[in-house]
Chains A and B, each alone.
Chain A
């Protein structure tokens, strides 16, 4: 038979486990890649790919970004509500620059490709905001 103190400890442990599990349930991992192509000073193509990670990602969360959220649990919808802020954040994280310029018989043309290679992001959804951080 358990003592009163023993029961208290047991219930405390149970409560903490439930609390941490509930917090962990709202956290998820997403794979995000971004690419845009500029041809002769004009934006030619822009792609932002977001998908839920099907396997667990490794690494520690880096610079995090907070997006306003209205109880949304879908990252795509959340980003589509604040696309400019999110793209600015992606630019800050770092993009690969690939520039190819040709001058044939004094006529110039160029293509610049900016790419964020597929990166795993940890996303924590809360009631009023969502926290996004890349895992490295």
Chain B
């Protein structure tokens, strides 16, 4: 009988201890989950802040782009208004004729042709090209296709930057600085 009572008391004590352990483990788990939740909340708050910063940056960039676009438009107007210069660079090509007396003559003639081509290129860039086109079609077939282009301009103060002559082809690199006052004349 004594032993049975002792065993019973021991069992009850052991159950009590085990309940305490369970309680302590539950408390730790809850604390951990709370800490994780707090971390997640903190991360969410950070992410929201980052989102806000990104949206602000995007808005700023859009504003900057709009400002840059308006500034470039203004700059284009300024070029014409404030006599700022525009730099134009072209390359003209010329070929030496077949019946030349010497390589020197061939070079001189090819260079002249290349200069004319460069002048034409400058005139095209600055003043533009007039284009006419005509196609003749007969029985659903193109009989004749014609394209005509015209350029008329006055070019002055063009500078030759570089001249190369290779295998009968002369290339002249030419540049010109243009300001509004040149057009006003």
B23 at the interface (CB under 8 A from A): no
Q: A41 CA to B151 CA in the complex, in Å?
A: 16
B49 at the interface (CB under 8 A from A): no
The residues of B that contact A95 with a CB separation of less than 8 Å are 119, 154-156
Chain-A contact segment, one of B37-45, B70-78, B89-97: B89-97
Q: A98 CA to B124 CA in the complex, in Å?
A: 11
State how many angstroms separate the Cβ of B142 from the closest Cβ of chain A. 9
A42: which of B109, B119, B123 is its contact (CB, 8 Å)?
B109
A126 at the interface (CB under 8 A from B): no
A105 touches B145 (CB 8 A): yes
State how many angstroms separate the Cβ of A78 from the closest Cβ of chain B. 20
Given A38-B94, A97-B153, residue A43 in contact with residue B119 (CB < 8 A): no
State how many angstroms separate the Cβ of A14 from the closest Cβ of chain B. 45
A104 touches B144 (CB 8 A): yes
Range for the number of chain B residues in contact with chain A: 20 to 34
A112 at the interface (CB under 8 A from B): yes
A97 touches B155 (CB 8 A): yes
State how many angstroms separate the Cβ of B111 from the closest Cβ of chain A. 9
A42 touches B156 (CB 8 A): no
Given A94-B154, A97-B154, A98-B152, residue A43 in contact with residue B112 (CB < 8 A): yes
The residues of B that contact A102 with a CB separation of less than 8 Å are 146-148
CB under 8 Å from chain B, chain A span 7-45? 36, 38, 41-43
B102 at the interface (CB under 8 A from A): no
Range for the number of chain A residues in contact with chain B: 20 to 34
B123: which of A46, A93, A97, A105 is its contact (CB, 8 Å)?
A97
Q: A10 CA to B55 CA in the complex, in Å?
A: 93
A99: which of B109, B123, B154 is its contact (CB, 8 Å)?
B123
State how many angstroms separate the Cβ of B155 from the closest Cβ of chain A. 6
CB under 8 Å from chain A, chain B span 137-185? 144-158
A92 at the interface (CB under 8 A from B): yes
B112: which of A46, A101, A105, A106 is its contact (CB, 8 Å)?
A46
Q: A79 CA to B109 CA in the complex, in Å?
A: 18
22 A-B Cβ contacts within 8 A?
Answer: A38-B94, A38-B113, A41-B113, A42-B97, A91-B158, A92-B157, A95-B119, A96-B153, A96-B154, A97-B119, A97-B152, A98-B151, A99-B120, A99-B149, A101-B149, A102-B146, A103-B145, A104-B144, A104-B146, A112-B116, A112-B117, A114-B116
12 further interface pairs, Cβ-Cβ under 8 Å (given A102-B146, A103-B148, A104-B144): A38-B113, A42-B109, A43-B109, A43-B110, A95-B155, A97-B122, A99-B120, A99-B149, A103-B147, A104-B145, A106-B145, A112-B120
B residues sitting closer than 8 Å to A (CB atoms) are 93-97, 109-110, 112-113, 115-117, 119-120, 122-124, 144-158
